[in-house]
Structure 1
Amino acid sequence: MPFNLENFKNQPPIVVIKDEDICGLSLFKKRLEQLFFSDVIIRNSSCETQIAKLIIEVSCNFNLWQGMSHLKSGIWAQFSRTSDRPVNTSEFYNLVTQLQDQNDFPIEVEEVSIIFENCNVIINQIYDCSIPEQLDSILTELANHYSGLTKELQEVPYEIFIPVFEEQTNTDVFSETLLPNVLNDTNRNIDYFNYWGLYFNSDNDATIYDFNEKGITSGELNMLID
């Protein structure tokens, strides 16, 4: 089954946002650093002055396994251990909401990259407010599926792209392709938990993690180039 991955490594962000560009940004960044035990860089991918599209880079000084262990023990990210927690109780959701309340222009979280010592986890927006609403559940599922994502603990992927979408096809033609980092009105929260793209040092090409099968599945992951 073919998959599309529209170059998850986005074009270089336009600019690192200055504290004075967004009211409350300095405190928002500080709270994120406390939340993730990390250094945080926030960039803006929007050329428009009427909207901010945040690309948040979180750099941690521990590996993926340690991060998931900290998450499960409740000392990292301050998220719940189950995926049924109301989104309005998520600390990340609340921080984004507070930042929006202090500004009179739309603020979107377009991408969050969590950089562990041995793995980069790249999460893309798939509908309005999808990352603030779903980051809790995404990290919880990352921990729950750690064994499958790491080839039964044999190899840690150096990059995880969340999510990827299967191309919808019929017998003759491809229907409209759903791109992982492009907003689409039909995307839903469950679309984060179908397929993830993985890169391993031992594989030349990207591989696909299937949530239903709880393992890596065969398939072609296509890179779209403008």
Structure 2
Amino acid sequence: MTMQRNGFKKNLNIRLDENPPINGLDNFKRNLEKDFYSKVLVRSCSCTDGGGNLVISVECPLVLGELLFHLEKGNWGNEVSKENIGRNGSSLAQRVSELRMENEIAIEIEELNFQLKDSTLVIKRIFPQSIEKELHQILEALIKHYIHFTKGLNKAVYEIFIPVFEEEFTKKLPKADTDPEILQQTYLRYWGLYFDSEEDAVIYDLSRRSFISGDLHMLNH
């Protein structure tokens, strides 16, 4: 899919239901609001079959730099806390696990997005339970790479889409949840970024800590 300036989310072909018939959803939402100190909207989408596929929007009254500061200090979300990860996987994983226990249908997070005061972070599912399993690694990488992709805080990013793929790699996604080699290449390989100073999206290569050119693809469920 072409990544143009109108933004990733405007390109996503999913229909959302703001009142999904899922047990325990109100408690799930309230717990996430406590964990992330944010307003949370949970909707279901029709992008896959056979379960409750959720799109979670976290509206946080911080700019990205402030969020990363509090995240690194362990004051927000507990997603990069080693103690929390060792015990429960992550706060999000714990909440989703609790929600699954209350329902007979499969529950999947199809998308998690953080709506900040100055930017939006969009994370897409790439294999079963991938978002809650990998969120802490994604946020740790965001802390680590923020100074690099903003060119020493000199470039203002307003949308981050995680992940984007080389075309050949998308063919391997169906088996990604069972192939360790593929797992290592997923969320922490390429990100798509929008900057105020750029007409179109640019691709950030995490391994090289640099921008690259080429035809990469985002997931369009």
Shorter-chain TM-score: what band? 0.7 to 0.9
Q: What SS class does the counterpart of residue 187 from structure 2 fall into?
A: helix
Q: Which residue matches 1:173?
A: none
Q: Say which of 174, 183, 190 aligns to 1:184.
A: 174
In structure 1, how many angstroms separate the alpha carbons of the residues matched to 2:65 and 2:47? 37
Map 1:148-159 onto structure 2 (within 5 A). Answer: 148-159=148-159
In structure 1, how many angstroms separate the alpha carbons of the residues matched to 2:46 and 2:217? 26
Q: Deviations over 1:92-151 (max 9, x none)?
A: 101101100110000100000101111100000000100010111111111111111212
Q: What SS class does the counterpart of residue 113 from structure 1 fall into?
A: strand
In structure 2, how many angstroms separate the alpha carbons of the residues matched to 1:185 and 1:49? 18
AA aligned to 1:55 is V
Note the aligned Cα RMSD (angstroms): 2.9
Q: Judging by fraction of residues, say which structure has more helix.
A: 2
| TM-score with structure 1 setting the length | 0.83
Contact 1:125 1:183 in 2 (8 A): no
Contact 2:123 2:163 in 1 (8 A): yes
Question: Which deviates more, 48-57 or 35-44?
Answer: 48-57
Deviation at 1:215, TM superposition (A): 2.1
Deviation at 1:12, TM superposition (A): 5.0
Query: Identity over aligned residues, as a percent?
Result: 36
Deviation at 1:155, TM superposition (A): 1.4
Deviation at 1:85, TM superposition (A): 4.2
Q: Deviations over 1:15-44 (max 9, x none)?
A: 1125xx211111100011111111111111
Question: Which has the bigger relative contact order, CA under 8 A and spacing at least 6?
Answer: 1
Number of corresponding residues? 211
Q: Which residue matches 2:16?
A: 14
Mapped pair 1:73 → 2:98: no
Mapped pair 1:213 → 2:214: no
Map 1:100-179 onto structure 2 (within 5 A). Answer: 100-168=100-168, 178=170
Deviation at 1:197, TM superposition (A): 0.3
The 3 A distance-change label for structure 1 pair 43 and 60 is: same
Residue segments in structure 1 that go unaligned for 5+ positions in a row? 169-176
Contact 2:3 2:201 in 1 (8 A): no
Question: Which deviates more, 23-32 or 212-221?
Answer: 212-221
Contact 2:161 2:193 in 1 (8 A): yes
Map 1:44-63 onto structure 2 (within 5 A). Answer: 44-46=44-46, 50-63=50-63
The 3 A distance-change label for structure 1 pair 87 and 205 is: farther
Q: Deviations over 1:70-94 (max 9, x none)?
A: 1011110112256x94484311101
The 3 A distance-change label for structure 1 pair 105 and 118 is: same
AA aligned to 1:200 is F
Residue segments in structure 2 that go unaligned for 5+ positions in a row? 177-181
In structure 2, how many angstroms separate the alpha carbons of the residues matched to 1:138 and 1:106? 24
Q: Which residue matches 1:171?
A: none
| TM-score with structure 2 setting the length | 0.84
Mapped pair 1:33 → 2:28: no
Question: Which deviates more, 154-163 or 216-225?
Answer: 216-225
Q: Which residue matches 1:43?
A: 43
Contact 2:166 2:215 in 1 (8 A): no
